[in-house]
A and B are shown apart, each in its own frame.
Chain A
């Protein structure tokens, strides 16, 4: 009888603990879907050497990553310690980086330029030729659009952000290859340095592709003017435009790819994407009706996301 009671207690414990529903995946399921980690954790893509080689910034340096073989070129790594987190960009010959305290370096040489003393805030590029930078000096923001095909980092010009009516700037970020989003105390603007034009916006913009805008708080506004709320916030998102269709991957929460086309938004749930931190969408290909996004991730290098079959390779 005693033994039977012990057995019943154990069985009750099974039932009690088996009803734990806290995690979004079962542990064996999560382990079964786990993906091999790379040696280096990629923080950012800072440049493109050629069509198959990227310069990537990692926690231990800047080096080359081959997107075809999906591997790091270990001999290419320049160990800059944690300063590599703030790598600005790289080309075949040089790596530009900052210590984030207003000091700028070309390889190991300290630069003396117009931006010296100004703190690096963020950078943006789509083609690894044209880079948009944001700098901060005290409470004044500066932006720069650098076309590396015809000028150098040392000689680039910077523009001070001066919103209409002298409003105080809270934040500045690049939203596409030509413009910046300006968040002020009470209003929001977009700013294009080439025309010096400030346009008032209804919310802070995260990204703008043609006439599709992703606002930080409102979600996506399609060309017909409709707002589409999407899960998560707009601070950790990758977008890619292909033949009039915009693909959006939000890392917070992860596991969903949004397809935005002809004013419609389709949300595609991919469970195995849940643990993958996507840094950028590199390309999009369509074969026999199957759409495959090539993405670069922080822990797993380049991965292919087949959004038709919902598989990751």
Chain B
């Protein structure tokens, strides 16, 4: 009985939500044309999900925060993105960011990802849901040492445009950072999950 009531309430809320934005035409044709551009500034918390590396002779994945897990603590990140549309639903662009996480020894681990991005925009208008795949390289620094690595990231966002050109949004994703060497003992794979806010300007 309780469940049925709850379901009805949820359906009602969804209907109200859709009515409120009835002028938005969620699934109408895309807002963008070929040549449209957008700029996004993002700030996020950065959560370490996995760090897999050779430990005592075995490639060992570790999960979660702190000393009992990856030895990384949640950190922060910021990025600047540019996208140019080559058709109404797809854009290409680039992104440069800065991520930091403190490790259990109190030292800071930083990453500077520089990515080529391909974005699919299935929904656009006043509300849009971009899904991006980034491919590029990442400049890692820790304990006075640095290293370039490849990087792949997958992000999904939900943006609301309160003005024609200006929107705010939330986003999350998955950063996949393989650290590769010819000496396989030093190889590692790390995953981070960003969760944050963004401001986008489009025209």
Residues of A within 8 A of B (CB): 3, 6-7, 10, 13-14, 16-23, 25-37, 271-272, 275, 299, 309-311
Contacts and interface: CB of A to CB of B under 8 A. Distances in A.
14 contacts: A6-B116, A17-B137, A18-B181, A21-B183, A26-B179, A27-B143, A28-B190, A29-B54, A29-B55, A32-B71, A35-B105, A37-B105, A271-B56, A275-B105
B58 to A, nearest CB: 11
A34 B71 contact: yes
B187 A31 contact: no
B185 to A, nearest CB: 8
Given A10-B137, A311-B56, A26 B181 contact: yes
Nearest to A11: B150
A17 B105 contact: no
A140 to B, nearest CB: 42
A18 B150 CA distance: 8
Given A10-B137, A25-B186, A36-B67, A31 B148 contact: no
A10 B109 CA distance: 23
Contacts of B116: 6-7, 10
Given A7-B116, A21-B183, A29-B54, 20 more contacts: A13-B137, A14-B148, A14-B150, A18-B148, A20-B147, A23-B147, A26-B186, A26-B188, A27-B147, A28-B177, A28-B190, A29-B179, A32-B51, A32-B188, A35-B104, A36-B104, A36-B105, A37-B106, A272-B56, A311-B56
B75 to A, nearest CB: 12
A275 B104 CA distance: 13
A118 B175 CA distance: 61
B142 interface: yes
Interface of B: 51, 53-56, 62, 67, 70-72, 92, 103-107, 109, 116, 135-137, 140-143, 145-150, 177, 179-183, 186-190
A34 B104 contact: yes
A27 B145 contact: yes
A159 to B, nearest CB: 44
Contacts of B141: 27
Contacts of B104: 34-36
Contacts of A22: 145
A31 B51 contact: yes
B83 to A, nearest CB: 14
A23 B149 contact: no
B145 A33 contact: no
A99 to B, nearest CB: 30
A1 B67 CA distance: 48
Contact of B53 (A26, A35, A275): A26
Nearest to B60: A32
